[in-house]
Structure 1
């Protein structure tokens, strides 16, 4: 669509004035100069945004429903003003709706005779027109002030709230997020009686839905009330609270690695940690070189999950723990149980898939083995003709007394360098269910070890193996790591020295 002649001349003048700025290389600016340019361009953009909002609001006013086919949008063959603005401006319908909503909120109500009334939020309009108030902040302020109007607060109180929010935002350079937090606090101060009605609206909006995707994933959407979010967040933070440290370093937990401490493998790898002359940990400016073996060990045992992946693993663990509680509702006399079907051939071969009741997508045998170690799972083993060869029992799980004994022996996750405490660990069967050494249902202390969820999953999928020797768990590295595959004792028992110290003595 052609540009209005008046704006065309403005753009021509701006092109001359901004040509030097737009064509300049930002790399040649100092830090202070770069930030000054960013702030200046943002203010210029705010001036343009203010005009966009104001003109979009006018389009909305000329397209109001009571005008029918005479309205602007319908007369231009558009079903809504948002679609009209989208087509003319070349932006998304969602962006058009945002501009229209704010533009119409800033317009005065039509009075008798079609005369437009005074602006409801003059201070917000002034801030936008001066380029000192961002559109996002204006949306926040006008929404909260409109809510106060709807609650019946006096006009002078709403005007004072609007002025206070605009002044605080502009004076202190608040971001829209900070303005939103301030607006909520001000709203609660001015309208304490509105908390209950607002909470009732939120209660009605809470939801949790799931749907199966074509790729086999089960995806969901949720909306939590503030108190529900508090329970979720505090529970997740409680399970993720230990600091993430390098395996082998002193710290609360070694569930992951710090990406800033990675380096290239070679004769040694530099890290920012160092040991002082007396053997005490000390921070120094120089790097500390670790051996290639230590670097490889740190790399292969590092927890490389994203924050989102850690969150879903944590919520799954919380649900699993709650489902196993004795006071949970029972179904057919049993607590929550995962039913898995797998063929004997796949189970013995360690490959293939199994099927979980209620889930369409199959899971690999390695995932079934992990579930059977720690989760309340009933595994139904089928023959070649589909006959039931064995119906498993949830009793293959370790009892609380056995888990306490394992905690005393292992001291937590037995994986080298991991210091997850026993409460964070799952119990792994060293000799799998299908082995003739441990018949179905046999769950002994000398066949169990403690592993955190991450290393438990890692063990079932990697070439590393766990064995028991003299009642002590040993990790067997893959041949590429150690051609001799020498078992490494892993117990963290504190009442005796590790076996290697006894040998040295």
Structure 2
């Protein structure tokens, strides 16, 4: 076929050009590089327009009223999405997006089998000319389609479409910026539409959590705008560097350790830790429901040998995947945890909690002394910290039950977990916490004072 032959020739030529681009990228100036990027994007828009047009035709030929005579079913596919995915190799999500936009940009099928006028001519023309990207086109078509469903007059919808296309092209808006503009314009034209949309959002809200085969707890969620606002505001507040207790005054010794103690978490890891921290803080609040007189408690089973040696695993009730002994040790420092300790023959040696958690008064004293997480360059305030036993709670020189201020140190959840699993150590010197770096950081392993208290002078280092 002539079309496919021409496209094959264009593809060969394009591959050759792309090969030249790849080989010469390093020698391009900044301006030339950006020009090439824009030119490649123009090619991509032309290709995307063709993909949408073809998918739209597939959608029309596969419409449900055709039954088994439809294109997708006649090719032994249960849906046009599966047909497009099979032919192109793209994801089902991408196939669905192409089919949806292509279908919406086509005119309605008339009784005689002919096609009516294009419902969105401004978008149609801009896409064909390669001036409007498919992402922005999809946003405009979707929002204008919602206005049609809401009963807005055709001239109002046409004006909205033209406005969004013109603004996107003349102002050089990204697809995200076009989406925001489309929402504002929609609300101006249809102020009564917010209520039914909210009802739909309320019905679609969900949260599913389950343990996956790899041991991780995985899930997905869909939040209403109101719920999303609460989540985002809470996450941003807890991750903001402005939540600390005033400026940090770092000594020379602390500066030495900063390069090795930097927070290396990705943003998504920080988000997961922040939500966990929020839930943990809420679980310990006085207003939480109580079961048998206690707030939410994590129950962990571990053998006496594993507890004493710091090796092996613990098992959390309701979770199939075990946790390492280091995590159990971290939880025993601060969390409302009930540990069931088993002997060699499986007999229960101990169940429940002893007086190992620091009291609110002790935590206030630690907050006054430490000023927040004591880890170098960490700005988490006391309210976001957990209390760590400098001498381990099961150590020979720190028998169970001895939970004293001179043995407590404030650490945020991340650095508390890191300390239990790394070569760094925390010790107490004259009532002040000191961090001891591993030998690969400091061969002498000189203890570094870490308190943020600003009412003391320079620390004296013992020989």
**1:201-255 deviation line (CA, Å, top 9, x unaligned):** 111111111111222211111111111111111111111101799xxxx96699x
**1:278-304 deviation line (CA, Å, top 9, x unaligned):** xxxxxxxxxxxxx9x978622331211
Report the CA distance between 1:334 and its aligned residue.
Answer: 0.6
Name the TM-score, length of structure 2 as normaliser: 0.89
Instruction: Flag the 1:137–1:426 CA change in 2: closer, same or farther, 3 A.
Output: same
1:81-160 equivalent positions in 2, closer than 5 A: 81-89=80-88, 91-160=90-159
SS at match of 1:396: coil
Report the CA distance between 1:158 and its aligned residue.
Answer: 0.6
SS at match of 1:380: strand
Structure 1 position 408 matched with structure 2 position 407: no
Report the CA distance between 1:190 and its aligned residue.
Answer: 0.9
Q: Equivalents in 2 of 1:14, 1:340: separation in Å?
A: 60
Structure 1 position 389 matched with structure 2 position 349: yes
Q: Equivalents in 1 of 2:187, 2:316: separation in Å?
A: 49
Q: Equivalents in 2 of 1:478, 1:17: separation in Å?
A: 55
**1:361-384 deviation line (CA, Å, top 9, x unaligned):** 111111111111111111222221
Aligned to 1:332: 292
Q: Is the 8 A contact 1:323 1:335 kept in 2?
A: yes
Structure 1 position 500 matched with structure 2 position 451: no
Q: Equivalents in 2 of 1:10, 1:392: separation in Å?
A: 72
Aligned to 2:384: 424
Q: Equivalents in 1 of 2:381, 2:96: separation in Å?
A: 52
Aligned to 1:240: 239
Of 348, 352, 357, 2:312 maps to 352
Name the TM-score, length of structure 1 as normaliser: 0.82
**1:459-490 deviation line (CA, Å, top 9, x unaligned):** 21223333333333333444555566554443
Q: Equivalents in 1 of 2:235, 2:418: separation in Å?
A: 22
Q: Equivalents in 2 of 1:21, 1:480: separation in Å?
A: 46
Q: Is the 8 A contact 1:108 1:119 kept in 2?
A: yes
Instruction: Flag the 1:188–1:344 CA change in 2: closer, same or farther, 3 A.
Output: same
- Tell me whether 49-58 or 206-215 shows the greater mean CA deviation: 49-58
Of 389, 414, 420, 1:454 maps to 414
1:90-489 equivalent positions in 2, closer than 5 A: 91-242=90-241, 297-393=257-353, 395-479=355-439, 485-489=445-449
Runs (5+) with no aligned partner, structure 1? 255-290
User: How large is the Cα RMSD of the aligned pairs?
Assistant: 3.1
Q: Is the 8 A contact 1:26 1:34 kept in 2?
A: no
SS at match of 2:132: coil
Q: Is the 8 A contact 2:338 2:352 kept in 1?
A: yes
Q: Is the 8 A contact 1:429 1:448 kept in 2?
A: yes
Q: Equivalents in 1 of 2:341, 2:128: separation in Å?
A: 73
SS at match of 2:180: helix
Q: Equivalents in 2 of 1:319, 1:253: separation in Å?
A: 31
Instruction: Flag the 1:13–1:371 CA change in 2: closer, same or farther, 3 A.
Output: closer
Q: Is the 8 A contact 2:302 2:342 kept in 1?
A: yes
- Greater relative contact order (CA < 8 Å, ≥ 6 in sequence): 2
Q: Equivalents in 2 of 1:15, 1:170: separation in Å?
A: 31
**Rg larger in structure:** 1
Report the CA distance between 1:22 and its aligned residue.
Answer: 6.2
Runs (5+) with no aligned partner, structure 2? none
Report the CA distance between 1:193 and its aligned residue.
Answer: 0.7
Q: Is the 8 A contact 1:242 1:253 kept in 2?
A: no
Q: Is the 8 A contact 1:464 1:475 kept in 2?
A: yes
Aligned to 1:8: 5
Q: Equivalents in 1 of 2:85, 2:105: separation in Å?
A: 20
Report the CA distance between 1:341 and its aligned residue.
Answer: 1.7
Q: Is the 8 A contact 2:254 2:449 kept in 1?
A: no
SS at match of 2:108: coil
Q: Equivalents in 2 of 1:128, 1:156: separation in Å?
A: 21
Q: Is the 8 A contact 1:253 1:420 kept in 2?
A: no
Paired positions, count: 460
Q: Is the 8 A contact 1:378 1:394 kept in 2?
A: no
SS at match of 1:221: strand
SS at match of 2:112: helix
Instruction: Flag the 1:383–1:149 CA change in 2: closer, same or farther, 3 A.
Output: same
Instruction: Flag the 1:204–1:486 CA change in 2: closer, same or farther, 3 A.
Output: same
Report the CA distance between 1:154 and its aligned residue.
Answer: 0.8
